[in-house]
Structures are given as structure tokens and as C-alpha cells.
Amino acid sequence: MLIVHHLGISQSDRIVWLCEELAIQYKLIRYSRDPETNFAPKEYKALHPFGTAPVITDGDVVLGESGAIIEYIIGKYGNGRFTVSVDKPNFADYLYWFHFANATLMASSMVDLAVNGLGGAGDNPHIRTLCARSDLAFDLIDKRLSDVKYFAGDEFTAADIIMLFPLTTMRVFLKRDIAGYPHLLAFLQRIGERPAYQRAMKLADPDLDLAPLLH
């Protein structure tokens, strides 16, 4: 049976959301963060050699990494739903934004998080250049969403599912004012109205106030 191991307020909320969108059978196991470190508890770290969220188990399969898990679930249980086929003109757009989420946006956010924890970039030009990538990413996102409703085009896809965490839940850890991104805000409002997203977040993080993260 497909089991989603969800670490509270983490990237694994994407996987719960995907399962709700697909309306497939799965078991959800929730884990609370270690109260001292705010990282995953030892029982979560024991699930996978890398020890970070998300993780799924499916029979003998133990799989980490958001993108890999999303592709696995869609391929095995979703009949290819929420993907874009290679013959479609927006296939490249789908691929780009699907991979942009963790390869660029999450990577730049983690740099910002580390720099903030160390007291800021200071006068180091290399660190300032790295930190500027987040601003560039958000500018690019807002520009994209000024042209289309969803990241791959006019239809909702897995690219939207994987992109959402760094735009919303990540802001619990890394504060960012998005008031200057009207097209991103409109996108977040559309996502927030999706019944499957609402169900998923109530299951995954029932105590998390979504309102400030969707505005």
C-alpha cells in the first residue's frame, strides 16, 4: 500500500496534495518535528538514508525526493494525469517549471535561509549575488503567471504542485513579502480554492494558518 510519510510543515505536503488531487487510496502517517532542533525526528530520519522529507513507501519501495515521488505516483497510480505529453507545444514549459521548483527556487531559498541564520550577506559580493537569485526567481515567476494561469500553461499540472511549497509553506521559515507580485497572488488564490488542496492541508498540517501564506 502507498504510504505517505509526512513531516509537519515540510515539502511532503506536496505529496499529500497530489494524492488528494488524484483521489487515490493512500495511508498518511504524520510526524512532528523534533522540538529541540526543529528538524525531522529520528524515526523519520530512519525511513530513508538521506533522512529528509518527503518519503513514501510502497511495498518494498522506499523513495525520497519530491520530483521522483510525484513522477512515481502519477506513473503508477495516476495514469499520467497532471503531466504534459511530449507532443504538446507546452511540454518544454512543463518540464522547465517542474524542475525549476527544487533545482532553482528551493535551492536559492535554502541559501537565503542559511545566510539569514548567519546574520546576513554583509559585504560579501559572492553571497549577495547568490541571495539575489531568489528575487530574480520571484520576478520570473510573476512574469510567467502574467501570461498563463498555471506554470505549464492554461491547465493545472504537477508543475503547480511541486512549485507551491517554496511559494507558500517555505515562507513559514523564510519570510518574504509577495505583495509586489500580483500575478503570483492571483495564482495562489486559485490554488487555495481547490478542494483537494484544502483537504490535503487539513490532513497534513491542520494547525497551520494558510491565509497569510496564500496572500
What is the pLDDT at residue 58? 98
Per-domain boundaries in the chain: 2-77, 91-193
Residue with cell 513531516: 7
Burial 167-186 (b: 16+ CB within 10 A, else e): bbbbbeeeeeebeebebbbe
pLDDT tier at 52 (50, 70, 90 boundaries)? very high
What is the pLDDT at residue 112? 77
- What's the Cα-to-Cα distance from 174 to each of 19, 55, 159, 183, 191, rounded to whole Å? 26, 23, 22, 21, 21
As a whole-number percent, the residues of the chain with pLDDT over 70 amount to 93
Which CATH code for domain 91-193? Answer: 1.20.1050.10
Residue 161 corresponds to which cell in the numbers above?
Answer: 504542485
| 145 in Cβ contact with 159 (< 8 Å) | no
At the top level of CATH, which class does the domain 2-77 belong to? alpha beta
Mean pLDDT, all residues of the chain: 93
The answer on pLDDT for 130 being more than 80 is no
Helix (H/G/I), strand (E/B), else coil: 97: helix
Report the 10 Å Cβ neighbour count for 188: 20
| Predicted TM-score (pTM) of this structure | 0.93
Span 64-114, pLDDT tens digits? 999 999 999 999 999 999 999 999 999 999 999 999 999 999 998 887 777
Span 162-199, pLDDT tens digits? 999 999 999 998 888 999 999 999 999 999 999 999 99
Mean pLDDT lowest among 38-47, 105-114, 141-150: 105-114
Segment 45-74 mean pLDDT? 97
DSSP 149: S
Distance of CA 113 to the CA centre of its chain: 16
pLDDT tier at 207 (50, 70, 90 boundaries)? very high
What is the pLDDT at residue 136? 93
